[in-house]
Protein backbone atom coordinates (compact mmCIF):
# COMPACT_ATOMS: atom_id res chain seq x y z
CA UNK A 1 0.00 0.00 0.00
CA UNK A 2 1.26 3.45 -0.87
CA UNK A 3 -0.06 6.80 0.27
CA UNK A 4 0.29 9.80 -2.04
CA UNK A 5 1.34 12.61 0.26
CA UNK A 6 2.96 16.06 0.22
CA UNK A 7 4.70 17.73 3.20
CA UNK A 8 2.39 20.10 5.06
CA UNK A 9 -0.76 18.99 3.22
CA UNK A 10 -3.45 18.66 5.91
CA UNK A 11 -5.66 15.98 4.33
CA UNK A 12 -2.92 13.38 3.84
CA UNK A 13 -1.89 14.21 7.42
CA UNK A 14 -5.27 12.96 8.63
CA UNK A 15 -4.53 9.58 7.07
CA UNK A 16 -0.97 9.36 8.37
CA UNK A 17 -2.14 10.09 11.93
CA UNK A 18 -4.97 7.56 11.56
CA UNK A 19 -2.58 4.89 10.24
CA UNK A 20 -0.17 5.50 13.13
CA UNK A 21 -3.02 5.09 15.62
CA UNK A 22 -3.69 1.73 13.99
CA UNK A 23 -0.02 0.74 13.94
CA UNK A 24 -0.16 0.47 10.13
CA UNK A 25 3.09 1.28 8.40
CA UNK A 26 2.23 3.21 5.22
CA UNK A 27 4.79 3.71 2.51
CA UNK A 28 4.43 7.25 1.17
CA UNK A 29 4.85 8.54 -2.36
CA UNK A 30 5.97 12.16 -2.60
CA UNK A 31 3.34 13.74 -4.86
CA UNK A 32 4.80 17.15 -5.63
CA UNK A 33 1.78 19.44 -5.80
CA UNK A 34 4.00 22.41 -6.68
CA UNK A 35 4.81 20.59 -9.93
CA UNK A 36 1.20 19.59 -10.54
CA UNK A 37 1.87 15.89 -10.01
CA UNK A 38 -1.68 15.53 -8.65
CA UNK A 39 -3.12 16.65 -12.01
CA UNK A 40 -1.30 14.28 -14.38
CA UNK A 41 -3.30 11.78 -16.46
CA UNK A 42 -1.86 8.88 -14.44
CA UNK A 43 -2.85 10.52 -11.16
CA UNK A 44 -6.34 11.43 -12.41
CA UNK A 45 -6.91 7.76 -13.19
CA UNK A 46 -6.50 7.07 -9.46
CA UNK A 47 -8.48 10.12 -8.35
CA UNK A 48 -10.42 12.11 -10.97
CA UNK A 49 -10.68 14.97 -8.43
CA UNK A 50 -6.93 15.53 -8.70
CA UNK A 51 -6.40 15.73 -4.95
CA UNK A 52 -4.34 13.98 -2.34
CA UNK A 53 -4.39 11.76 -0.34
CA UNK A 54 -4.79 8.68 -2.49
CA UNK A 55 -4.12 5.19 -1.22
CA UNK A 56 -2.79 2.86 -3.91
CA UNK A 57 -3.38 -0.78 -3.04
CA UNK A 58 -0.90 -3.53 -3.91
CA UNK A 59 -3.28 -4.86 -6.58
CA UNK A 60 -3.32 -1.47 -8.39
CA UNK A 61 -6.73 -0.29 -7.18
CA UNK A 62 -6.87 3.14 -5.56
CA UNK A 63 -8.98 4.86 -2.91
CA UNK A 64 -9.37 8.66 -2.69
CA UNK A 65 -10.75 10.88 0.12
CA UNK A 66 -9.19 10.98 3.59
CA UNK A 67 -12.17 9.57 5.45
CA UNK A 68 -12.74 6.83 2.86
CA UNK A 69 -9.09 5.79 3.18
CA UNK A 70 -9.42 5.81 6.97
CA UNK A 71 -12.50 3.59 6.68
CA UNK A 72 -10.50 1.15 4.56
CA UNK A 73 -7.73 1.12 7.17
CA UNK A 74 -10.28 0.54 9.95
CA UNK A 75 -11.68 -2.41 7.98
CA UNK A 76 -8.29 -4.08 7.59
CA UNK A 77 -7.17 -3.22 11.14
CA UNK A 78 -10.24 -2.87 13.38
CA UNK A 79 -8.36 -2.05 16.59
CA UNK A 80 -8.06 0.43 18.10
CA UNK A 81 -11.54 1.39 16.97
CA UNK A 82 -11.81 4.98 15.69
CA UNK A 83 -15.17 5.04 13.86
CA UNK A 84 -17.54 3.55 16.45
CA UNK A 85 -18.31 0.21 18.06
CA UNK A 86 -22.10 0.17 18.25
CA UNK A 87 -24.90 1.67 16.16
CA UNK A 88 -25.12 4.82 18.27
CA UNK A 89 -21.37 5.44 18.22
CA UNK A 90 -21.16 4.76 14.49
CA UNK A 91 -23.81 7.39 13.85
CA UNK A 92 -22.58 9.90 16.39
CA UNK A 93 -18.91 9.82 15.37
CA UNK A 94 -19.96 10.12 11.71
CA UNK A 95 -22.09 13.16 12.57
CA UNK A 96 -19.30 14.85 14.52
CA UNK A 97 -16.75 14.15 11.79
CA UNK A 98 -19.07 15.49 9.09
CA UNK A 99 -19.71 18.64 11.11
CA UNK A 100 -15.98 19.27 11.40
CA UNK A 101 -15.63 18.78 7.65
CA UNK A 102 -18.71 20.70 6.52
CA UNK A 103 -18.72 23.50 9.09
CA UNK A 104 -15.03 24.07 9.81
CA UNK A 105 -12.91 22.57 7.01
CA UNK A 106 -15.00 24.30 4.31
CA UNK A 107 -14.52 27.69 6.01
CA UNK A 108 -10.79 27.18 6.55
CA UNK A 109 -10.61 26.19 2.87
CA UNK A 110 -12.37 29.39 1.78
CA UNK A 111 -10.00 31.51 3.87
CA UNK A 112 -7.05 29.56 2.43
CA UNK A 113 -7.96 29.97 -1.26
CA UNK A 114 -8.74 33.65 -0.74
CA UNK A 115 -5.68 34.26 1.43
CA UNK A 116 -2.19 35.57 0.69
CA UNK A 117 -0.35 32.28 0.05
CA UNK A 118 -2.75 31.04 -2.63
CA UNK A 119 -3.11 34.63 -3.83
CA UNK A 120 0.60 34.73 -4.68
CA UNK A 121 0.21 31.58 -6.76
CA UNK A 122 -2.14 33.52 -9.04
CA UNK A 123 -4.35 30.52 -9.75
CA UNK A 124 -7.65 31.85 -8.40
CA UNK A 125 -9.42 35.18 -8.58
CA UNK A 126 -9.43 36.22 -4.93
CA UNK A 127 -12.69 37.25 -3.26
CA UNK A 128 -11.79 39.29 -0.16
CA UNK A 129 -15.41 39.41 1.11
CA UNK A 130 -15.54 35.61 1.08
CA UNK A 131 -12.42 35.48 3.24
CA UNK A 132 -13.81 38.05 5.68
CA UNK A 133 -16.95 35.92 6.10
CA UNK A 134 -15.13 32.58 6.40
CA UNK A 135 -12.57 34.00 8.86
CA UNK A 136 -15.49 35.05 11.04
CA UNK A 137 -17.13 31.63 10.71
CA UNK A 138 -13.90 29.90 11.78
CA UNK A 139 -13.57 32.18 14.80
CA UNK A 140 -17.17 31.47 15.80
CA UNK A 141 -16.67 27.75 15.32
CA UNK A 142 -13.63 27.81 17.60
CA UNK A 143 -15.79 29.45 20.26
CA UNK A 144 -18.44 26.76 19.84
CA UNK A 145 -15.77 24.05 20.16
CA UNK A 146 -14.41 25.70 23.28
CA UNK A 147 -17.86 25.50 24.90
CA UNK A 148 -18.17 21.86 23.85
CA UNK A 149 -14.76 20.95 25.25
CA UNK A 150 -15.83 22.40 28.59
CA UNK A 151 -18.38 19.56 28.69
CA UNK A 152 -16.57 16.68 27.00
CA UNK A 153 -13.04 15.42 26.57
CA UNK A 154 -13.02 14.70 22.84
CA UNK A 155 -14.95 15.77 19.74
CA UNK A 156 -17.36 12.83 19.88
CA UNK A 157 -17.50 12.35 23.64
CA UNK A 158 -15.19 10.57 26.03
CA UNK A 159 -12.78 8.89 23.68
CA UNK A 160 -10.41 9.75 20.85
CA UNK A 161 -11.87 9.08 17.37
CA UNK A 162 -11.43 9.94 13.72
CA UNK A 163 -13.31 13.21 14.42
CA UNK A 164 -10.43 14.38 16.64
CA UNK A 165 -8.00 13.72 13.82
CA UNK A 166 -10.15 15.77 11.43
CA UNK A 167 -10.31 18.65 13.89
CA UNK A 168 -6.62 18.59 14.79
CA UNK A 169 -5.56 18.73 11.14
CA UNK A 170 -7.96 21.61 10.48
CA UNK A 171 -6.85 23.65 13.51
CA UNK A 172 -3.14 23.10 12.85
CA UNK A 173 -3.46 24.00 9.16
CA UNK A 174 -5.61 27.03 9.93
CA UNK A 175 -3.11 28.17 12.59
CA UNK A 176 0.09 27.64 10.61
CA UNK A 177 -0.95 28.43 7.03
CA UNK A 178 -4.14 30.48 7.10
CA UNK A 179 -3.49 32.90 9.97
CA UNK A 180 -6.46 31.53 11.93
CA UNK A 181 -4.99 30.48 15.26
CA UNK A 182 -7.61 30.08 18.00
CA UNK A 183 -7.74 32.92 20.51
CA UNK A 184 -5.64 32.04 23.56
CA UNK A 185 -8.62 32.63 25.83
CA UNK A 186 -10.25 29.45 24.48
CA UNK A 187 -8.73 27.36 27.23
CA UNK A 188 -10.90 24.28 26.70
CA UNK A 189 -10.01 24.11 23.03
CA UNK A 190 -6.33 24.46 23.96
CA UNK A 191 -6.68 21.75 26.64
CA UNK A 192 -8.04 19.39 23.97
CA UNK A 193 -5.37 20.47 21.45
CA UNK A 194 -2.52 19.78 23.88
CA UNK A 195 -4.00 16.42 24.85
CA UNK A 196 -4.33 15.14 21.28
CA UNK A 197 -1.04 16.68 20.13
CA UNK A 198 0.78 14.63 22.76
CA UNK A 199 -0.41 11.32 21.32
CA UNK A 200 2.43 9.38 19.75
CA UNK A 201 0.55 9.26 16.43
CA UNK A 202 0.76 13.04 16.31
CA UNK A 203 3.94 13.91 18.20
CA UNK A 204 6.04 10.94 17.09
N1 LIG B 1 -12.12 15.91 0.63
C2 LIG B 1 -10.77 15.59 0.26
C3 LIG B 1 -9.95 16.87 0.18
C4 LIG B 1 -8.58 16.61 -0.42
C5 LIG B 1 -7.82 17.90 -0.66
O6 LIG B 1 -8.40 18.99 -0.79
N7 LIG B 1 -6.50 17.75 -0.73
C8 LIG B 1 -5.64 18.89 -1.01
C9 LIG B 1 -4.32 18.71 -0.26
S10 LIG B 1 -4.53 18.80 1.49
C11 LIG B 1 -5.32 18.90 -2.50
O12 LIG B 1 -4.99 17.89 -3.07
N13 LIG B 1 -5.43 20.09 -3.11
C14 LIG B 1 -5.09 20.25 -4.49
C15 LIG B 1 -6.24 20.72 -5.34
O16 LIG B 1 -7.34 20.93 -4.81
O17 LIG B 1 -6.00 20.88 -6.52
C18 LIG B 1 -10.17 14.62 1.30
O19 LIG B 1 -10.66 14.59 2.43
O20 LIG B 1 -9.25 13.86 0.97
CATH code of 136's domain: 1.20.1050.10
Compute the average pLDDT of residues 24-32.
Answer: 97
Give the ligand 1 atom nearest the CA of 64: 20
Whole-number Å distance between alpha carbons of 27 and 24: 10
Q: Is pTM, for the whole model, over 0.95?
A: yes
- Among the candidates 29, 57, 76, a domain finishes at 76
Over residues 41-66, the pLDDT tens digits come to 999 999 999 999 999 999 999 999 99
Question: Is 186 found in the same domain as 163?
Answer: yes
- Distance, in Å, from the CA atom of 135 to the CA atom of 151, rounded to the nearest integer, reads 25
Query: Residues 61, 135: one domain?
Result: no
Which residue's CA is the nearest one to ligand 1's atom 14?
51
Q: 53: domain range?
A: 2-76
Are residue 132 and residue 163 in the same domain, yes or no?
yes
Amino acid sequence: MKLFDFPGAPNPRRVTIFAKEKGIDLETVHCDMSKGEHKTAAFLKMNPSGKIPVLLLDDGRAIAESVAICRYLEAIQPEPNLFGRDPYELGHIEARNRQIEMELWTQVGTSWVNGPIVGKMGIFKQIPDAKTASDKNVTRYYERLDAEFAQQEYVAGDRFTVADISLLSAVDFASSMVGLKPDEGLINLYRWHKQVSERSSVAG
